[in-house]
Amino acid sequence: MSKEKLVIFDTTLRDGEQSPGASMTKEEKVRIAKMLEKMRVDVIEAGFAIASPGDFDAVQAVANTIKDSTVCSLARAVDTDIDRAGEALKGANSSRIHTFIATSPIHMKYKLKMEPEQVLEQAIRAVKRARGFTDDVEFSLEDGSRSEFEFMCRITEAAIAAGASTINVPDTVGYGEPGEYGAMFKRLIEAVPNSDKAIFSTHCHNDLGLAVANSLSAVMNGVRQIECTINGLGERAGNAALEEIVMAVRTRKDLFPVETGIVSEHIVPTSRLVSSITGFPVQPNKAIVGANAFAHESGIHQDGVLKHRETYEIMRAEDVGWNTNKIVLGKHSGRAAVKARFEALGITFESQDALNQAFSRFKELADKKHEIFDEDLQSLLTSASSESTEETYILIDVESQSRSGEKSKSRISLQVEGQDMEAHAEGSGPVDAAYKAIESVVKSNSDLLLYSVNAITQGTDSQGEVTVRLERNGIIVNGVGADTDIVVASVKAYLHALNLLSSPGRSHPQRDGV
């Protein structure tokens, strides 16, 4: 018996970007979008076009680049938002406007300060206006899981009648419970007279760790679109993780009446790319994409897997993209081999000069470490992207001295707005000393919220990837740096974050959304 299609709606570039400090450049969004397209994601929500000129440019760039997936922009149920979204999506082969308004009593009363009838009228007007730009309009009932059922039915029926082809009832605050949330959809679909004219969608947040469970429960109750993100990225505790949704549906095909069109072999490379760009490391025990997801240390488990894989593994690691690269790159690798590996990762270069620069970076790294892995290649491009940020602070040189029982010392040479400067400092370790030296020069008045080190690959010659999160005046940014020398990587990450704070177009406060 043929199964129904489950639409995979990826919102990594929009809701995922609302994680504090996870803001992405236009070029980074396009890189991720290309990988999502390669994975055959059905809908890519590229951003919130009205939010800023940078968001508009990013949505437009993704719309003009992606050919096979539908490109979507979020818009509040406001004329200016919808017009801006429509303008950004003009170049898309297939476009969608995703408009929303809050429908729960608490949101309508305290946030919107509107009566239900006013909300209903605004929703209808927004859907009709969006239909002027595209036939594919999605309407979301923000805070839907806490909305009153009768009003939910009225606004859903009205939105479909106005032209919405997808109805999303999100669990905006992560309050839902699987049985309750799934039953809500079943009841809603049965109660709305024109429900057969639309696809129902779920968008779950993970505040109680139930986003994936809630989403799958909704599928069992008639939902045919899931909104999710790579690595479960998203504001607060994140969103439902795309990789978990896709592999749950595939692995338990005996249970779920749906199937996706996702090419799962691209899941792990895409996960690594998103992690590298955002600076959010994937925890080792993360399902599907964590480093330990297919590792077995217990002797009983190892023995069982060796005798018959399915004794302890319900999926093949190769099916999600683990261990698929058999080509070893090193200092003797040529330009053609490096270019071919980049292309296998979904990375293409707009010009020969761009390829030459990437190859030059590859050669510099190959002189420092014996084998170059896919993660190293992703990191090379992410580092290049961070250095392309408008740079107020440029690293010239760093020297560190560390000895047990004594304070560490660091000397930093920087170029600050074109002027060479040098500073010395002591600290409890070489990184602490280096950061104190930098601050003695730049006096950023920022707070260090996070310092995280992650080995990009195995081996003692691995690059260390450092993530630094800084906050100043309510703006939060993540700086990323990579190097085989962890002190150098740390300095690069700190300066990247400082440059982002000096370039407001790259950073943003939290934004409203579903």
Q: Write down the pLDDT at residue 197.
A: 98
Q: Is residue 126 part of a domain?
A: yes
Q: Is residue 272 part of a domain?
A: yes
- Assess whether 396 and 269 both reside in one domain: no
Q: Is residue 469 part of a domain?
A: yes
Q: Write down the pLDDT at residue 306.
A: 43
Q: Write down the pLDDT at residue 296.
A: 42
Q: Is residue 355 part of a domain?
A: no
Q: Is residue 430 part of a domain?
A: yes
The CATH number for 415's domain is 3.30.160.270
- Assess whether 159 and 10 both reside in one domain: yes
Q: Tell me, what DSSP letter sits at residue 486?
A: H
Q: Write down the pLDDT at residue 369.
A: 65
> What confidence tens digit (pLDDT) does each residue in 399-444 have?
999 999 899 999 999 998 888 999 999 999 999 999 999 999 999 9
Q: Is residue 186 part of a domain?
A: yes
**Three-class SS of 324-386:** CCCCCECCCCCHHHHHHHHHHCCCCCCCHHHHHHHHHHHHHHHCCCCCECHHHHHHHHHHHHH
Instruction: Tell how far CA 465 is from the center of its chain.
Output: 18
Q: Is residue 294 part of a domain?
A: no
The CATH number for 17's domain is 3.20.20.70
DSSP bridge pairs for 501? none
In a structure prediction context, what are the per-residue pLDDT tens digits for the chain, which is 514 residues long?
Answer: 689 999 999 999 999 988 877 778 898 899 999 999 999 999 999 999 999 998 999 999 999 999 999 999 999 999 999 999 999 999 999 999 999 999 999 999 999 999 999 999 999 999 999 999 999 999 999 999 899 999 999 999 999 999 999 999 999 999 999 999 999 999 999 999 999 999 999 999 999 999 999 999 999 999 999 999 999 999 899 999 999 999 999 999 999 999 999 999 999 989 988 988 888 888 889 999 987 877 644 343 334 434 444 554 567 888 887 764 445 677 778 888 888 877 777 677 778 888 888 888 788 877 876 677 777 777 777 666 655 556 789 899 999 999 998 999 999 999 988 889 999 999 999 999 999 999 999 999 999 999 988 877 777 777 888 889 999 988 888 888 888 889 999 999 999 899 888 875 544 444 567 8
> Domain boundary at 219, 245, 278, which?
278
> Domain boundary at 248, 278, 308, which?
278
- Take residue 72 and report the two structure tokens written for it: 């979507």
DSSP bridge pairs for 477? 21, 470
Q: Write down the pLDDT at residue 312.
A: 47
- Assess whether 250 and 125 both reside in one domain: yes
Q: Is residue 485 part of a domain?
A: yes
Which residue type does 369 have? K
> Domain boundary at 226, 255, 278, which?
278
Nearest to 238 by CA among 273, 264, 203, 270: 203
Q: Write down the pLDDT at residue 48.
A: 95
Domain count within the chain: 2
The answer to whether the beta carbons of residues 35 and 12 sit under 8 Å apart is no
**Phi and psi torsions of 362, nearest 5°:** -60, -45
Nearest to 446 by CA among 488, 492, 498, 496: 498
3-state secondary structure of 167: strand
Q: Write down the pLDDT at residue 308.
A: 42
Q: Write down the pLDDT at residue 298.
A: 39
Q: Write down the pLDDT at residue 417.
A: 85
Residue 486 is part of which domain span? 391-501
308, exposed or middle or buried, with CB in 10 Å at 0-12, 13-18, 19+? exposed
